[in-house]
């Protein structure tokens, strides 16, 4: 009985993190498009507080590749965040 409950909780956590990852990607794309139109800078701050400037689409895609899977697998605590300056 305990194993079934544990599996359900793990699945629930995984589903929640997948949903948050999709929202993270949507937010990133939205801010990236606004950055292009406004000619502003966009920054990504990771879970450790490191900041990266996102100037091109490949940089944004690299961030997704580096962050999303480890987040879903609970290897990092947060996805980080995007900000436009």
Q: Whose CA is closest to 42, among 65, 51, 69, 4?
A: 51
Full pLDDT tens readout for the chain, 85 residues: 688 989 999 999 999 999 999 999 999 999 999 999 998 889 999 999 999 999 999 999 999 999 999 999 999 999 999 997 6
> Half-sphere exposure of residue 28, counting CA atoms within 13 Å on the CB side?
28
Residue indicated by tokens 């990266």: 52
Query: What residues are paired with 44 via a beta bridge?
Result: 52, 82
pTM assigned to the model:
0.86
pLDDT at 1: 64
d(C-alpha 83, C-alpha 80), whole Å: 10
């Amino acid at each position: 009985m305990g194993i079934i409950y544990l599996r359900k909780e793990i699945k629930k956590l995984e589903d929640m993190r997948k949903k948050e990852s999709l929202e993270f990607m949507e937010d990133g794309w939205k801010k990236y498009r606004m950055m292009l139109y406004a000619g502003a800078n966009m920054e990504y701050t990771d879970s450790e507080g490191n900041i990266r400037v996102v100037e091109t689409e490949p940089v944004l895609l690299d961030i997704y590749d580096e962050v999303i899977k480890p987040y879903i697998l609970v290897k990092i605590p947060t996805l980080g965040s995007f900000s436009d300056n």
